[in-house]
Structure 1
Amino acid sequence: MKLRHWQAQCLDAAMKHYQSGHRQFGCLATPGAGKSVFAAVTVKAMLNAGLVDFVLCIAPSVTVRNGLKSTFEKVLEQPMDGFLGSIGLTLTYQGLSSLAPGMIGRLLQQRLIIVLDEIHHCGGHDRHNATYWGASLMALMQHNTPPYTLSLSGTPWRTDENYVTSLLYDQNLRPDMQFSYGLNDAVKEGVCRTPSVHLIDSSKWRVIEPDQTTRTHNSLKQLLKDENLAYQHVLEESLFLSNILHYANEKLVTLRQGCSDVGGLIVASSIKHATQIQRMLRDITQQEPWLVTSDTDKSHAVIQQFRNSAAPWLISVGMVSEGTDIPRLQVCCHLSRICTELHFRQVLGRILRKRPKDNHQQATLIVPAHPELSEFAAILKAEIPEHVSVVWRKKKGSSLMTSVSSSNDTLKPDPVTNITTQTIEGLSLTEPQTATNKGATSSALVALTSYGRFEKEVLRFT
């Protein structure tokens, strides 16, 4: 198998690390770079070197687990189903926590290597502060002769201020990953698509009190700050949502003219929100968008069917997240109420995977101009200024006038006119956040690291 340059480098580093007596190796690689293939060839090298004779792969979801299983079986050319004659077993972290003690004991009798995909889902270094999944993993790792571990993540940090299980930390309390491969390198080497982030806003939001008193705001940031309005209400506002969906569909239609199977993903905030989006997108496209949520029967099979189809749009609530491999996705709408840097990066990662057949190698992420999402876009631009583009699409004048009734929080839009597009060069148009945003800082003070600015993020599917 021909490896990418970074995969070959990381394989060499991992084997030298293990053969020198170390039991743990951490790989930080940007979402979409090919961590699963790297892990599989590393395990194959460990097997060939006689260091291990059984592999246990653990992932955060069934979809990611199935992807790992397929990749490992292809590379190792042996089954990974845990049955007699197999070379290994694939589980979810939840499945690991349900294993009988006897089964764990039998696993530990093997010369074992554990591949920990998206390891940031497991928190804690001891049983007193461990999360549920972290505790299950520690029970497997804390043995007289600990197994080899290969920890993988594109975002190795958590929001609960807990350590990530299995990772070592340096004196500055940063994860001590033995190999790092960032988005900047991946874009330069042609491994990942070039990100383009489009921020959607209005220059006139109108708030109407029950006594007909009217206030206007010139940005979404100002609206959320001054009115103490739940972001979810903005996401569900029909005119604002229609504007974003029309814009996203225009981008996808253009891409599909060059490659007919290019797909788009919409990350919704709730099942109710997803069904609202499905109705609106159906009217826009005159086609039935695919919808997958936790209520969807055989949801993982639906995701696989979409992956192999040429359907344009998939709407998801927490089902198409980190590690989900659908390379034909190239446009994404971030319409989740989760506004953390980890979630922003992971959602972006769904459209970064590159295909040789694509004529246009740019990944388009469309987001409302929420102040935190805007800053994450600015940080991304600062990290890779020569590659990342940030486009500010703001309706001007009376183009989007939204009435908010403070008595019942309903949103009543007025008609739309006059659309303009402006490209942000550097960070000059990204405003510093106010003290009301936790963890906020002026863009001029952003400290760039390979982990981004928020180092303790974890996905919160709420």
Structure 2
Amino acid sequence: MIPAVSPESLPTLRVWQRQAMLEYHRERRRDFMAVATPGAGKTTFALRIAYDLLSERTVDTVTVVAPTEHLKTQWSIAAARFGIQLDPNFRNADVHSAADYHGVVLTYAQVGADPLVHRRRTLARRSLVILDEVHHAGDSRSWGDGVFKAFDEAERRLSLTGTPFRSDDNPIPFVTYEEGPDGKRSKADALYGYREALTDGVVRPVIFMAYSGQAKWRSRAGDELNVRLGEPMTKDMVSQAWKSTLDPKGDWIPQVLKAANKRLESLRAAGMSDAGGLIIASDQNTARAYAGILKRVTGKSAEVVLSDDDSASDRIAKFADSTREWLIAVRMVSEGVDIPRLAVGVYATNAHTPLFFAQAIGRFVRSRRPGETASVFLPSVVPLLSLAENLEADRDHVIVEKTDTDPEDLMEQAQRQVNEPSAELDGGHETLETNAELDQVIFEGSSFGIPAQTGTAEEEEYLGIPGLLTSDQVELLLRKRQREQVSKQEKQPQATAEKAEEPKRASEPPLTNAQRRLKLRKQLNQLVGARSHATGEPHGKIHAMLRKACGGPPSAQATIDQLEQRISKLRSW
């Protein structure tokens, strides 16, 4: 059955989509994988291929496999714009779809549950199989085996993904791998990364607002631990400090939600009148608690969407078409859901695989018009800071040989002290106290700003950044904000400062390591800002030069000795 839409009325393709389409038709391979950053238009590309293959009678039917039930409906609606009718309600028990459909939309779980049903359908008619976010075919062995068994005889297979890399070593079915120095690496037939999409104006630039703060908790053994988020510590301690930070009983979440709401209000007042916000929570109970906190600190109600809610898809669709401000969800909105007006995010989950992070950030980058920006608030912890700084990096799925021991695990065991709580035994974890502080602003891999307490004028300066700016304008404004912060501190009379310090030295105890580190970071950022002002070099470049000269991690994770060494080095330049 040929699609009932003329070629002239089809949606206009972007440059990368046209190039990928030409490559697809030139090669005419059985398997083709397109890797494009979230928000770039993978669905439109795939449906244009489906339209062409149906029109030229290369295939007779189309099967789309998607990660979630909600996406089945979304695919069906999108396909209708191409004159392709797909059944989103097909069940395994149906065996066959109605004759007036061009095909069906399934989930990976549905295929894995009974692959033989879909194998028979594939053998009965020449099929194009579109594997949306194909990395999910490696989520479990049953899903991967099911997808292979069901579709290995398909006429054509088109694999789509925004993030082909995974955190395990399960091969992804129908993906080509090449030998590389670090193992077998996946090979894309068409690649369109975030960097290219940003240059083309296809996606929005993302401003990351990283918040640190103190976290205090009681372990199962009854020990009380108090650390500063973002400081160097073992993975075990990072995990528990992170967990405390996200606990609704502390003050970190209320303070960050209040700041995120101010950012959203700023965007809506500056031209993005329908801008929406999304809070990604770790679990359903926490999501409900966050809704209560948001109502308490801002007076605003949020739409809470839970995966076990039968009306979840309808509620997401209604939110997308409305002007409501806040949506709270667990994981079901982190991938594939198209809500272009989402412009502010709160990453309030401990999930930190590159795969999940990239898909989550992809909810905020869909561009509607030039100049729109997105802002994502997150805990200032090493795993997330690294992912934020490397957002533009293009990654492949790499399969390495398994070894009996993981070097990272061995290092973690060696570094763990006897009195440090194990993540496996944190059932008695009790959050005692948390608070938030704007630690740094990350934009295009560079860090800006000096730590600022929540609710202060310094924080407001970053929360009030206009929402309609180009990437260059955002960077210029961030540099200006930081110069103003540095200048403000430098103008304080030294004599007054010294006089104020005298009684403190007599009455106050010595600074803790956390306080010393914060003071050194402020001092380092002041010096970096001064050099940037004098030379015109970007802050990120100066920090990178210091790291190259002195070694060590980014300043947020640097030790006291490393910070002092960088300050000394910078003063010598």
The normalised TM-score by structure 1 is: 0.79
Partner of 1:400: none
- Deviation per residue, 1:328-360 (Å, 9 max, x gap): 11111111111111111111100111113xx75
Counterpart in the other structure of 1:432: 553
For 2:192, the equivalent position in structure 1 comes to: 181
Question: Shift in Å at residue 212 of structure 1?
Answer: 12
2:129 and 2:436 map into 1 onto residues whose CA distance is 57
What letter is aligned with 2:351?
I
Matched residue, 2:174 = 166
One-letter code aligned to 2:98? F
Judging changes above 3 Å, is the alpha-carbon distance between structure 1 residues 211 and 36 closer, same or farther for their aligned structure 2 residues? closer
Are the counterparts in 1 of residues 238 and 381 from structure 2 also a CA contact under 8 Å?
no
Equivalences for 1:17-416 in 2 at 5 Å?
Answer: 17-18=27-28, 22-80=29-87, 82-99=97-114, 101-102=116-117, 104-123=119-138, 131-143=141-153, 146-172=154-180, 173-202=184-213, 204-205=214-215, 217-222=227-232, 227=237, 230=240, 231-236=242-247, 237-257=249-269, 258-356=271-369, 360-380=371-391, 409-413=430-434
- Distance (Å, rounded) in 2 between the aligned partners of 1:215 and 1:89: 54
Q: Which amino acid aligns with 2:296?
A: D
Deviates more, 1:68-77 or 1:308-317: 68-77
Residues in 1 aligned to 2:296 and 2:223: alpha-carbon distance in whole angstroms: 35
Q: Is the 8 A contact 1:114 1:149 kept in 2?
A: yes
1:401 aligned residue: none
CA contact (8 A) 2:115 2:146 kept: no
1:432 partner letter: P
**Cα shift at 1:409:** 2.4
| Structure 1 gap segments, 5+ residues each | 125-129, 384-404, 437-462
C-alpha separation between the residues in 2 aligned to 1:10 and 1:226? 44
The SS at the match of 1:157 is: coil
Q: Kindly tell me: are residues 286 and 183 of structure 1, through their superposed partners in 2, closer, same or farther at Cα, counting changes over 3 Å?
A: same
Instruction: Return 79-88 or 261-270, whichever deviates more.
Output: 79-88
Question: What is the CA-CA distance between 1:90 and the residue it aligns to?
Answer: 0.8
Deviations 1:52-82 (A, max 9, x none): 1111011010112211111112113445453
Q: Which digits, 9 at most, give the CA deviation of each residue in 1:396-451, with x for residues without a partner?
A: xxxxxxxxx998522224798564458693273896289x9xxxxxxxxxxxxxxx
Q: Does the residue aligned with 1:305 lie in a helix, a strand or coil?
A: helix
| 2:260 maps to amino acid | A
Give the conservation status (yes or no) of the 8 Å contact 1:217–1:223: no
Change over 3 Å in CA distance of 1:285–1:240 after alignment to 2: same
CA distance change for structure 1 residues 54 and 414 in 2, over 3 Å: closer, same or farther?
closer
- Structure 1 pair 352–408 and aligned structure 2 pair: CA distance change class (3 A): closer
Q: Deviations over 1:354-409 (max 9, x none)?
A: 113xx7511111110111001111222678xxxxxxxxxxxxxxxxxxxxx99852
Bigger drift between 270-279 and 102-111 goes to 102-111
Q: Which residue does the alignment assign to 1:443?
A: none
One-letter amino acid of the structure 2 residue matched with residue 84 of structure 1: A
2: CA distance between counterparts of 1:170 and 1:381?
23
Gaps of 5+ in 2: 1-10, 89-96, 395-425, 438-452, 460-480, 483-524, 526-538, 558-573
- Calculate percent identity across the aligned residue pairs: 29
**Which residue is 1:445 aligned to?**
none
Distance 1:271 1:211 in 2: 28
Q: Measure how far apart 1:99 and its partner are.
A: 4.2
Alignment coverage as a number of residue pairs = 401
Give 1:300 deviation, angstroms: 1.4
- The residue type equivalent to 1:194 in the other structure is P
Q: Secondary structure of 1:367's match?
A: strand
C-alpha root-mean-square deviation of aligned residues, in Å? 3.2
Code of the residue aligned with 1:278 in structure 2: it is A
Question: Measured at CA, do residues 118 and 292 of structure 1 come closer, stay the same or move farther in structure 2, by a change above 3 Å?
Answer: same
Instruction: Note if contact 1:371-1:433 (Cα within 8 Å) is conserved in structure 2.
Output: no
Aligned residue number for residue 14 of structure 1: 24
Q: Relative contact order (C-alpha < 8 Å, sep 6+): which is higher?
A: 1
CA distance in 2, matches of 1:207, 1:102: 52
Q: Is the 8 A contact 1:268 1:335 kept in 2?
A: yes
Contact 1:17 1:25 in 2 (8 A): no
In the alignment, residue 312 of structure 2 is paired with which amino acid?
A: S
Structure 1 runs, 4 residues or longer, greater than 6 Å off: 207-215
Per-residue CA deviations over 1:207-248 (Å, capped at 9, x if unaligned) read: 789999987644433466584652322211521111211111
Distance 1:215 1:411 in 2: 9
Cα distance in 2 for partners of 1:381, 1:121 equals: 22
Cα distance in 1 for partners of 2:14, 2:392 equals: 25
239 and 167 in structure 1: CA distance in 2 versus 1, 3 angstrom threshold: same
Q: For the structure 1 residues 360 and 312, does the alpha-carbon distance in structure 2 shift closer, same or farther, using more than 3 Å as the test?
A: farther
**TM-score in terms of structure 2 length:** 0.64
What corresponds to 1:452 in structure 2?
none
Cα shift at 1:115 = 0.3
Q: Given the superposition, is the C-alpha separation of residues 207 and 43 from structure 1 closer, same or farther in structure 2, using an over 3 Å criterion?
A: closer
Q: Kindly tell me: are residues 114 and 381 of structure 1, through their superposed partners in 2, closer, same or farther at Cα, counting changes over 3 Å?
A: closer
C-alpha spacing 1:101/1:277, structure 2 compared with 1 (3 Å): same
Q: Whose radius of gyration is greater, 1 or 2?
A: 2
